[in-house]
C-alpha cells in the first residue's frame, strides 16, 4: 500500500521506525554503500518502508551533513541566446549522469549580475561553476568564482586562470572550405565576421589552410569582412559576385550573412548551388533549415561543449577532493570539433 500524497514530513527516522531498524541502517541502504553490509532481510524491510511511507530524501539536509551539495552552478547570458539552450542541455544531461543538479543563473551579460549570480550560487554551496558565453570570446570572470573549481564554456579567461572549453574555429573553417573544394570549386569567396574576434580569426585561418593544402593560393580579393548581419552578408556577397572573375562558391562567416548572401545571389538570377555554392557557419536551425535551398553549414558544438565542460568540472572537483589542488592555475583549453551539416546549398 502506498502512502497518500503529501510525503512532505516523512523523515528517515520514520522509515527506520517503520522498518524497526536504526537510522544508520536506513542511511546505508539508501546510499547503496557496500563497505558496511546489511542483511538482505533488513534491506528489504527498509526498502519496503521507504515505499510505504513515500519517503523522499531531503537533499538539503543530506548536503549539510555530507558537506556536498551535489549542485553545480551554470552562469550564462541566457538573455540573448538561442544558443545558450544547447549548452544548458548538454551540461544538464551530463550532470544528471553524475547525479548532479545544475543551478542555472543568468548573468544578463552584465558584470554586476554575473557577480551576484556567483555569489548566490556560492551561497547554495555549489561544488563547481560553469561560466558560458553566447559567442566565443575572452571574458572577465567574477573573482569569487575562484573559490570553487570553475570551467569556462565558449569563452576563455584572458588571464588564463580557468580552464575552458571552446569550439575549434580553425577546424570548422577548414571543413567548410574543404567541402567546397571537394565540390570542385577553386575560387571560393569568404565573407568573414568582424575582424579580431576569435571566430573570425580562426575561421579565416582554417579557410587559408584548406586552400593552401589544396595547392590554391588564397586570393585576398575574395575575402571580405562583414558584420554578422543579413544585410552585411547581402552587401558583401554582392561585391564578391560583381567581381570580374567572380567566385563560384561563398563561405559565409555565419548563417545570417549566408541568408543575406542568398538574396544577393537571387537578385543576380543565379542559382544555388548550381551557379554559386554556399556554406554557412553556426547552424542556426531556424535559418539554415528553412532557407531554400536549405543551407549547408558548420555547426557550433554547444551541446558537446556543455557536456565536456561538466565532465571536466567533475574531474577538477574529484582532483580537489583528493587534495590535488596545487594552487597553480590549470590553463587547459579544450577544443571541440565543429561538424559540417550537409543540406542543399552545395552540390554533392
Partner DNA sequence: CTGTTAGCGCTTTCAA
Partner DNA sequence: TTGAAAGCGCTAACAG
Which residues would be at the binding site for its own copies (CB under 8 A)? 5-8, 56-61, 63-64, 69, 78-79, 81-82, 84-85, 88-89, 92-93, 101-106, 119-120, 122-125, 146-147, 229-230, 234, 256, 259-260, 263, 266, 284-287, 290, 292
* CA dist., res. 149 & res. 232, Å (int): 41
The interface region with DNA, picked from 12-20, 74-82, 206-214, 314-322 by CB under 7 A, is: 12-20
Tell me which of its own copies, DNA, none is bound by residue 230, counting a contact when its beta carbon lies within the kind-specific cut-off of 5 to 8 angstroms: its own copies
List phi, psi (to 5°) of 193.
-80, 180
Tell me which of its own copies, DNA, none is bound by residue 78, counting a contact when its beta carbon lies within the kind-specific cut-off of 5 to 8 angstroms: its own copies
Going by C-beta distance under 8 Å and a sequence separation of 6 or more, which residues neighbour residue 271? Answer: 265
The whole-angstrom distance between residue 82's C-alpha and the CA centroid of its chain comes to 12
Q: Does 126 bind DNA (CB under 7 A)?
A: no
* CA dist., res. 182 & res. 180, Å (int): 5
Tell me which of DNA, its own copies, none is bound by residue 322, counting a contact when its beta carbon lies within the kind-specific cut-off of 5 to 8 angstroms: none
Interface map 59-98 toward DNA (x if CB under 7 A): --xx-xxxx-------------------------------
CB-neighbour burial class of residue 33 (10 A; exposed 0-12, middle 13-18, buried 19+)? exposed
Nearer residue to DNA within complex by CB, 41 or 322: 41
Going by C-beta distance under 8 Å and a sequence separation of 6 or more, which residues neighbour residue 80? Answer: 109, 134
Sheet of strand 340-341: strand arrangement: 223-225, 188-192, 249-252, 277-282, 296-299, 340-341
Q: Does 53 bind DNA (CB under 7 A)?
A: no
Tell me which of its own copies, DNA, none is bound by residue 220, counting a contact when its beta carbon lies within the kind-specific cut-off of 5 to 8 angstroms: none
The three cell numbers locating residue 37: 553490509
Query: By CB under 7 A, how many residues form the interface with DNA?
Result: 29
- Could you tell me if 298 and 279 are in contact, meaning their C-beta atoms sit under 8 angstroms apart? yes
* CA dist., res. 229 & res. 184, Å (int): 28
- Could you tell me if 284 and 256 are in contact, meaning their C-beta atoms sit under 8 angstroms apart? yes
* CA dist., res. 224 & res. 219, Å (int): 11
- Could you tell me if 300 and 171 are in contact, meaning their C-beta atoms sit under 8 angstroms apart? no
* Terminal C-alpha separation, the chain: 63
Q: Does 3 bind DNA (CB under 7 A)?
A: no
Nearer residue to its own copies within complex by CB, 98 or 205: 98
Return the exposure string of 108-117: e unless at least 16 CB atoms fall within 10 Å of the residue's CB, then b.
Answer: bbeeebbbeb
Nearer residue to DNA within complex by CB, 10 or 265: 10
The interface region with DNA, picked from 28-36, 190-198, 200-208, 299-307 by CB under 7 A, is: 28-36
Tell me which of DNA, its own copies, none is bound by residue 36, counting a contact when its beta carbon lies within the kind-specific cut-off of 5 to 8 angstroms: DNA
Nearer residue to DNA within complex by CB, 211 or 317: 317
- Could you tell me if 331 and 159 are in contact, meaning their C-beta atoms sit under 8 angstroms apart? no
Nearer residue to DNA within complex by CB, 55 or 72: 55
Tell me which of its own copies, DNA, none is bound by residue 30, counting a contact when its beta carbon lies within the kind-specific cut-off of 5 to 8 angstroms: DNA
The interface region with DNA, picked from 23-31, 109-117, 240-248, 264-272 by CB under 7 A, is: 23-31
Q: Choose, by CB under 7 A, the member of 17, 58, 116, 239 that binds DNA.
A: 58
Provide the minimum distance between the beta carbon of 236 and its own copies in the complex, in angstroms, as a whole number.
15
E strand or H helix at 52: helix 40-53
Tell me which of its own copies, DNA, none is bound by residue 234, counting a contact when its beta carbon lies within the kind-specific cut-off of 5 to 8 angstroms: its own copies
Q: Can you name the residues that pair with 122 across neighbouring β-strands? A: none
Binding residues (CB under 7 A) for DNA: these are 9, 11-13, 20-25, 27-28, 30-31, 36-39, 41-42, 55, 57-58, 61-62, 64-67
Amino acid at each position: 500500500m502506498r502512502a497518500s500524497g503529501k510525503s512532505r514530513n516523512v523523515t528517515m527516522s520514520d522509515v527506520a521506525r517503520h522498518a524497526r531498524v536504526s537510522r544508520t541502517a536506513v542511511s546505508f541502504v539508501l546510499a547503496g554503500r557496500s563497505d558496511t553490509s546489511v542483511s538482505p532481510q533488513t534491506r528489504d524491510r527498509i526498502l519496503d518502508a521507504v515505499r510505504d511511507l513515500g519517503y523522499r530524501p531531503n537533499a538539503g539536509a543530506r548536503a549539510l551533513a555530507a558537506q556536498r551539495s551535489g549542485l553545480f552552478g551554470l552562469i550564462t547570458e541566457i538573455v540573448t541566446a538561442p544558443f545558450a539552450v544547447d549548452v544548458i542541455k548538454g551540461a544538464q544531461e551530463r550532470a544528471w549522469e553524475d547525479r548532479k543538479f545544475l543551478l542555472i543563473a543568468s548573468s544578463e551579460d552584465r558584470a554586476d549580475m554575473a557577480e551576484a549570480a556567483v555569489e548566490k550560487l556560492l551561497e547554495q554551496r555549489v561544488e563547481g561553476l560553469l561560466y558560458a558565453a553566447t559567442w566565443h570570446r575572452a571574458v572577465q570572470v567574477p573573482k569569487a568564482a575562484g573559490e570553487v573549481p570553475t570551467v569556462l564554456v565558449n569563452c576563455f579567461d584572458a588571464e588564463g586562470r580557468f580552464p575552458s572549453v571552446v569550439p575549434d574555429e580553425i577546424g570548422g573553417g577548414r571543413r567548410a572550405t574543404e567541402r567546397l573544394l571537394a565540390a570542385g570549386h577553386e575560387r571560393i569567396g569568404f565573407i568573414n565576421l568582424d575582424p579580431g574576434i576569435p571566430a573570425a580569426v580562426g575561421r579565416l585561418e582554417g579557410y587559408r589552410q584548406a586552400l593552401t593544402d589544396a595547392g590554391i593560393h588564397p586570393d585576398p580579393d575574395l575575402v571580405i569582412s562583414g558584420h554578422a548581419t543579413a544585410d552585411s552578408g547581402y552587401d558583401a556577397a554582392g561585391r564578391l559576385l560583381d567581381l570580374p572573375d567572380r567566385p563560384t562558391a561563398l563561405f559565409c562567416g555565419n548563417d545570417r550573412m549566408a541568408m543575406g548572401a542568398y538574396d544577393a545571389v537571387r537578385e543576380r538570377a543565379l542559382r544555388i548551388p548550381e551557379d554559386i555554392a554556399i556554406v554557412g557557419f553556426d547552424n542556426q536551425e531556424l535559418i539554415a533549415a528553412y532557407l531554400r535551398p536549405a543551407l549547408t553549414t558548420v555547426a557550433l558544438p554547444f551541446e558537446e561543449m556543455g557536456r565536456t565542460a561538466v565532465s571536466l568540472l567533475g574531474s577538477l572537483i574529484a582532483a580537489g577532493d583528493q587534495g590535488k589542488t596545487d594552487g597553480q592555475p590549470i590553463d587547459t583549453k579544450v577544443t571541440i570539433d565543429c561538424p559540417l551539416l550537409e543540406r542543399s546549398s552545395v552540390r554533392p
